[in-house]
Structure 1
Amino acid sequence: MKLNVTLLGGDCHRSFTLSGRVGQTLHHLMQAKGQGVTSLENPALRLAAYIHSLRELGFVIDTESEPHDGPYPGYHARYRLLSKVILERDQDGGAI
């Protein structure tokens, strides 16, 4: 998956082509809107690493710690995209 996106805000807009799991993670964050994403709902072994990569590019992503039950109770992270992002087109040139 390759996405062409524009990150709004700051002194000027910045455009990126994101691919692989980082692009997929941004796409999931954009689709989830205010609900956010977790590794429990969208299994990804390295979700925190993909979030870190997006943050290094300048995307603002909130992290909320949530408790969970089950055989291994504990906490997991819920990530929410706070940045304004325009998704322009996919690699095939189609509008999204």
Structure 2
Amino acid sequence: MADKTDWGDAPFTIFLDTSETLAITVSGRDRWALECLIASGEQGCTPIDTPGPRWSGYVHNLRKLGVPIETVTEPHGGPFKGTHARYVLKCRVEPASGSEAA
């Protein structure tokens, strides 16, 4: 996934807990973030482990499309200790059939 150079439009199917499905199309960094979340599974992603300039923005955009993503606040140490977010998909997401995404 990290070696991709084409982050154009890609369709995904969101399998909601309500047994409903949702079809979305994402591109660019939003697509990158969604594919990172899919690949990370239940562990989720943090901006520390999976660096990206605007994780909170990508998650916001995906949530607006209906993708359920949980934000878990975690502490971190070091000279600038504080907290960071871990983002976790709360449903199954798959590339739409015939898509080359993820």
Moved segments of 4+, more than 3 Å: none
The C-alpha deviation readout for 1:41-67, integer Å capped at 9, x for no partner, is 111121001001101110101111111
The answer to whether the Cα contact below 8 Å between 1:63 and 1:80 also exists between their aligned partners in 2 is yes
1:30 matched to 2:28? The reply is: no
Give the alignment's TM-score, normalised by structure 2. Answer: 0.81
Higher strand share: 1
Q: Give matches, 1:10-21, under 5 Å.
A: 10=18, 12-21=20-29
CA-atom RMSD in angstroms: 1.7
Question: How far did 1:12 drift?
Answer: 4.3
Question: How far did 1:14 drift?
Answer: 2.3
2:80 aligned partner: 72
- Sequence identity of aligned pairs in percent? 35
| Aligned with residue 13 of structure 2, among 6, 12, 19 | 6
Pairs aligned (count): 92
